[in-house]
Amino acid sequence: MTSTIPGFWAVIPAGGSGTRLWPLSRRAAPKFLLDLTGSGQSLLQTTWSRLAPLVDDRVIVVAGSSHADAVRRQLPMLAAESVVAEPTPRDSMPAIGLAAALIERRDPDALLGSFAADHLIEDEPAFHAAIREAVVLARAGELVTIGIEPTGPATGFGYIRQGAPLGIAEAERGRRVEEFVEKPDLETAKRYLASGEYRWNAGMFVVQATTLLELLALRHPDMVSVLRMIAAQPDRLYELWPSLTAIAIDHAVAEPAAAARRVAVVPADLGWDDVGDFQSVAGLSDGHGGPTGIVALSGVDDVVSVDSTGVVSAGSGRLVALVGVEDIVVIDTADALLVTTRDHCQDVKKVVTTLAEQGRTELL
């Protein structure tokens, strides 16, 4: 049994466009609102389910204003004030910062953990254990991140270089973060992997709300003032929000704090996946069934395969027939069809770019 962590809040920034998952992921129905694993739950719902045992009803979801209603529909158990609609996109720092300011007003000693709405974690007990250690470190004043055990020389993630153990009781795994590094090229990623010193940065942060705002105030004092003003007078959200700088929490807080040796990491092996592209989705969906060699994300009865392998989403009610194609990815929707291969899933976002350039906004 998992018990909740007193004073610990979950913040779920529900953003990201998921353009590599087009045409399933759209502006109006982004990745976090989709059930990409066939579990019957969207990634957002899965994220909430994973956190609820730790926080009870202490949750704040920050979503774009065009998605806030969908978030409320998917998570009807949330209180009205638990869903915050951003008037305009301002990247992750204002979103998480506003949640911190709101939480700080409710409980000056509160801690928060911020977790993307569109990632998956296979090993929930390991996740809960890592968060409990992170909370111990956060109570000691650290900005704490979770360092994901790399399973390969990935070039799509940022990395965390970990330093010496911190030796804090009940957080034995905790280590100093030497630095955050940007997405590396393949050679660098291989070197990181071989060294054993690097971890994937999954964008998870556990910290006291007040500590986060103090760290932010070191470089962006005006932003902290505005965020606390909105938290005190929520009616002024639409008036004050546009003045906030669009910036990611990594640049605004995490990297400078690491340089100031204020960041800790809890290394963990969680079965984490960012569900970044169809290659990733296929790996999560091996239980979906389908003809031999085919992972059917949906519409399994509408797939006919002759000597083919790959991933198919037959979501439009039409028959999808594959003949002699290998490692193919076919995503069939009512108004758009994608045909690519497992090796080219990263390039799907180029289609979205092209459609945007062509002004075909109805397909974005």
Give residues in contact with a second copy (CB under 8 A): 22-23, 304, 306-307, 318-325, 328, 330, 332-341, 343-344, 347-348, 350-351, 354-355, 360, 363
How far is residue 204's CA from residue 222's CA, in Å, rounded to a whole number? 25
Nearer to a second copy, 152 or 317 (CB): 317
In the complex, what is the shortest distance from the CB of residue 328 to a second copy, in angstroms, rounded to a whole number?
6
In the complex, what is the shortest distance from the CB of residue 26 to a second copy, in angstroms, rounded to a whole number?
12
Determine the residue type at 359.
G
Nearer to a second copy, 57 or 347 (CB): 347
Q: What count of other Cβ atoms lies within 10 Å of the Cβ of residue 214? A: 15
Angle at 302 between CA 299 and CA 305, to 5 degrees: 115
- DSSP states of 154-219: -SSS-EEEEEEE--BTTBTT-EEEEEEEPPP-HHHHHHHHHHS-EEEEEEEEEEEHHHHHHHHHTT
**Host H or E run for residue 295:** strand 294-298
Nearer to a second copy, 22 or 192 (CB): 22
Nearer to a second copy, 131 or 338 (CB): 338
Sheet holding 328-332, edge to edge: 294-298, 310-314, 328-332
Nearer to a second copy, 209 or 345 (CB): 345
Nearer to a second copy, 186 or 337 (CB): 337
Nearer to a second copy, 246 or 319 (CB): 319
Determine the residue type at 37.
T
In the complex, what is the shortest distance from the CB of residue 305 to a second copy, in angstroms, rounded to a whole number?
9
In the complex, what is the shortest distance from the CB of residue 137 to a second copy, in angstroms, rounded to a whole number?
43
CB 143 within 8 A of CB 176: no
In the complex, what is the shortest distance from the CB of residue 299 to a second copy, in angstroms, rounded to a whole number?
11
Determine the residue type at 287.
G
In the complex, what is the shortest distance from the CB of residue 280 to a second copy, in angstroms, rounded to a whole number?
16
Nearest to 309 by CA among 325, 296, 320: 325
Nearer to a second copy, 188 or 341 (CB): 341
Reported as half-sphere exposure (CB side, CA atoms, 13 A), residue 11 has a value of: 30
In the complex, what is the shortest distance from the CB of residue 157 to a second copy, in angstroms, rounded to a whole number?
22
**Which residues fall within 8 angstroms of residue 2, CB to CB, at 6 or more apart?**
53, 54, 128
In the complex, what is the shortest distance from the CB of residue 31 to a second copy, in angstroms, rounded to a whole number?
17
**Which residues fall within 8 angstroms of residue 89, CB to CB, at 6 or more apart?**
15, 64, 246
Most distant pair of Cα atoms in the chain: their distance: 63
